[in-house]
């Protein structure tokens, strides 16, 4: 079994619609990852166990997505020095502003890198994790550079529906 480098955790299977955008990026870049539901409120002991074991397991970053009272990223970060990348999932009642505030407003000393609400945040958290791994992996950096170059070309080729 390959060494898992990135953990993708989420508070509920209902977060998958958002968090699969992170997984897609990791798959695209060939990163060894695991994805699991680990709920801060419903599975607190599992959450702490995951955080406590992450460094010894060789996990290089944890992408954690949650919605509403989104304590998962912050409480993982409280228990590990492995970098935690937090993804606010859009919630039913407050559209994810609650999730964003829960994740971003960490007390000084316990950082969580916080991304945008929803699928852009999930994808960008994964791209950020790829960039971290690319620091000591030139082949991965080349893939990331190629990804950026493709995006640039796609933007240059964008047409607007103007006639006349
Ligand atoms: C959070 O509560 C989860 O991260 C999810 O975004 C939200 C709702 O969970 P479910 O009620 O859909 O399981 O803990």
* CATH class, range 6-156: alpha beta
Cα 78 to middle of ligand 1, angstroms: 20
Q: Is the pTM of this model over 0.90?
A: yes
Is 91 known to sit in a ligand binding site?
Answer: no
| 34 close to 7: Cβ distance less than 8 angstroms | yes
Q: Report d(CA 80, CA 29) in Å as an integer.
A: 25
Of 118, 103, 129, give the one whose Cα is nearest residue 5. 129
ipTM of the complex: 0.97
Residue 61: phi and psi, rounded to 5, are -160, 150
Of 76, 95, 94, give the one whose Cα is nearest residue 8. 76
H/E stretch holding 121 reads helix 119-134
Answer whether 63 contacts ligand 1 (Cβ < 6 A): no
**How does pLDDT run across 13-69, given as a tens digit for each residue?**
999 999 999 999 999 999 999 999 999 999 999 999 999 999 999 999 999 999 999
Is 57 known to sit in a ligand binding site?
Answer: no
Atom 9 (ligand 1) nearest CA: 12
Domain locations in the chain as residue ranges: 6-156
């Amino acid at each position: 079994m390959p060494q898992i480098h990135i953990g993708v955790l989420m508070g509920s299977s209902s977060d998958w619609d958002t968090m699969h955008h992170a997984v897609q990026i990791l798959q695209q870049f060939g990163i060894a990852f695991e994805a699991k539901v680990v709920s801060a409120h419903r599975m607190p002991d599992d959450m702490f166990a995951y955080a406590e074991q992450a460094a010894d397991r060789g996990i290089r970053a944890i992408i954690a997505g949650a919605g509403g009272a989104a304590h998962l990223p912050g409480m993982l970060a409280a228990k590990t020095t492995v970098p935690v990348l937090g993804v606010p999932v859009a919630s039913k009642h407050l559209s994810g502003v609650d999730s964003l505030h829960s994740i971003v407003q960490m007390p000084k000393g316990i950082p969580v890198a916080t991304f945008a609400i929803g699928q852009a945040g999930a994808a960008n958290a994964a791209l950020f994790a790829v960039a971290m791994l690319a620091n000591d992996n030139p082949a991965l950096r080349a893939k990331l550079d190629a990804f950026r170059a493709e995006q640039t070309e796609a933007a240059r080729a964008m047409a607007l529906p103007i006639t006349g």
